[in-house]
Amino acid sequence: MNNKKIRQGIWFERLMAIAATVNLGLVLFNLSYVSWRDFYLHNLPQITKLYDPVKGIEAHRDTENYLKAVDELQTQISQTGINSTQTTARLAELRRLSTEIVQGNPFAAAGKSGTLEKIKNRMRRETGKKSSTEAFATFWTPEFLFRRGTQEINFFNTQIKPLFITNYYRHIGENGEFLDEFWLIDLPFVILFAGELITRSWLIKRKQRLTWGEAILWRWYDLLLLIPFWRWLRVIPVLIRLDQAQLLNLEIIQYQIERSIIANLSEEISEIVVIRMINQLQIAIKSGELTNWLSQKPALRPYLDVNNVNEIEAIVGILVKTTVYQVLPKIQPDIVAILRHSIDNVLSQSPIYRNLLAVPGLGQIPNQLSLQLSTQLTANIYTAIVAAVEDPVGAKLSSQLAQHFSEALGTAVQKKQTLGEIQTLMSDLLEEVKINYVQRLSQENFEQLLTQTRQMRSQVN
């Protein structure tokens, strides 16, 4: 039963996706019709006969009368000949109409002034006249029209008449815009999609227990199928519906879009975070907070302590204990070796030591003496350090030493020349870090980072 419902659901999705695609095709056809009308007129005239009324298009009265006069001229010539009074009168009428066409430009209203220019250029080339008015006046004379038999009539029918035919008049609606009755074609689709959206929203509202507004937002893209303007935006719901109906696979496109967006955002966010961090450090240095810290003075802005613990002292204490109890015992043999080498070098400079080495049986005594001395010295020093660490008085003296050292360092650093040099050097160093780091960050391949991240997630999953 579930499989049957799934099959019915997918077929419904496909049917609605096809309907949306057809609607989008009509929308794009309507948007491009005026631009492509000349093509349809010459190659698919049936389309223009059907769709011109939708766009409020009809043949232009002036150009239609002009072509009608040319047809009447050809009929008159076939009946009474080229030199008859009736033919002469019709030629004179055509010359008058030609002047009106050139001066009045009936092509302008349809945005086809370029077509009129093309007509005038062809007439000038054909007659050899520089003025388009003179060219028409020369063309519509018995002497020129039949100087080469019927070739000039054929020239007009093949080179000029098709351009005249493309001109049109388009009605304007009460809103001041060109008349467009496409909404009548679009209305059945809008009703269909509106009914579907209401039904889907009702089901979502009941299932998810949402408000009507929240349920409609679940299918926000379907709203683009209902708006009567910006109809080209319907490409968005059409693509989504085709993907949902499994008629089009947009996963690759979606993946590339996500990669592009994430890469750009990652780069920009990383640069902003790094630059802001360095800027804050530079501000802290220039504002004197470094001096206040070294001199143990209150900062310009209140410093918030979250645990009432001096973290620096605590860290130093941990490092000292780790060094005393774990590091020094492991490196004690190395310290003994260094001290023994130093003692040997000092003793080797003594004449008594060199004479003692020359005495038979006593050559090993100096070596044993330096070994015992270095070992004992290292042990005493280590014992003294441990005692100092464990002894409360020693710990207090060490704390006083650290405090006096910090105060002395702060006092020395606060000298105007020293402080200025430190602040300048540290600010310049941070500026160099900012420039060089951000430059490397911009050059880093975020596409490769995204790929590595996806591989890592896939391995974890």
Distances (CA, A) of 376 to 228, 369, 371: 97, 10, 8
282 is a domain residue = no
For residues 372-400, give the mean pLDDT. Answer: 71
Q: What percent of the chain has pLDDT over 70?
A: 65
Amino acid type, 242:
L
pLDDT band at 166 (very low <50, low <70, confident <90, very high): very high
- Residue 172: strand pairing partners: 178
Alpha carbon distance, N-terminus to C-terminus of the chain: 33
Are residues 63 and 108 both part of a single domain?
yes
Are residues 62 and 162 both part of a single domain?
yes
**pTM score of the predicted model:** 0.57
Are residues 63 and 165 both part of a single domain?
yes
For residues 326-334, give the mean pLDDT. Answer: 80
> What is the DSSP annotation of 392-418?
HHHHHHHHHHHHHHHHHHHHHHTSHHH
pLDDT band at 336 (very low <50, low <70, confident <90, very high): confident
Domain count, the chain: 2
251 is a domain residue = no
pLDDT at residue number 328: 75
Condensed to tens digits (0 to 9), the pLDDT of residues 205-245 reads 888 888 898 888 888 999 999 998 899 999 999 998 998 88
Condensed to tens digits (0 to 9), the pLDDT of residues 74-84 reads 999 889 888 88
192 is a domain residue = yes
Distances (CA, A) of 84 to 90, 97, 187: 10, 20, 58
pLDDT band at 300 (very low <50, low <70, confident <90, very high): very low
For residues 429-440, give the mean pLDDT. Answer: 66
pLDDT at residue number 95: 94
Are residues 152 and 192 both part of a single domain?
no
Are residues 236 and 134 both part of a single domain?
no
401 vs 115: which has the higher pLDDT = 115
398 is a domain residue = no
> What is the DSSP annotation of 12-73?
HHHHHHHHHHHHHHHHHHHHHHHHHHHHHHHH-HHHHHHHTTTTTEEE-HHHHHHHHHHHHH
253 within 8 A of 235, measured Cβ to Cβ: no
Q: Please count the residues of the chain.
A: 461
83 is a domain residue = yes
72 within 8 A of 183, measured Cβ to Cβ: no
Which of 147, 170, 193 corresponds to the end of one domain? Answer: 170
Domain assignment of residue 128, given as a range: 57-170
370 is a domain residue = no
Token pair 């492991």 in the structure block, residue: 330
Are residues 196 and 142 both part of a single domain?
no
Are residues 208 and 237 both part of a single domain?
yes
Token pair 């980072």 in the structure block, residue: 449
Q: How far apart are CA 30 and CA 446, in angstroms?
A: 43
Q: Using alpha carbons, select from 310, 312, 314 the residue that is nearest to residue 322.
A: 314
224 is a domain residue = yes
Condensed to tens digits (0 to 9), the pLDDT of residues 263-274 reads 666 666 666 666
Averaging pLDDT over each range in 221-230, 282-291, 297-306, 350-359, which range is the top one? 221-230
Which of 170, 204, 226 corresponds to the end of one domain? Answer: 170
Look over the chain and give the mean of its residue pLDDT values, rounded to a whole number: 79
pLDDT at 159 over 90: yes
Distance of CA 227 to the CA centre of its chain: 27
Are residues 27 and 116 both part of a single domain?
no
Are residues 87 and 185 both part of a single domain?
no
191 is a domain residue = yes
189 within 8 A of 225, measured Cβ to Cβ: yes
Which of 170, 199, 227 corresponds to the end of one domain? Answer: 170
HSE on the CB side for 25, CA within 13 Å? 6
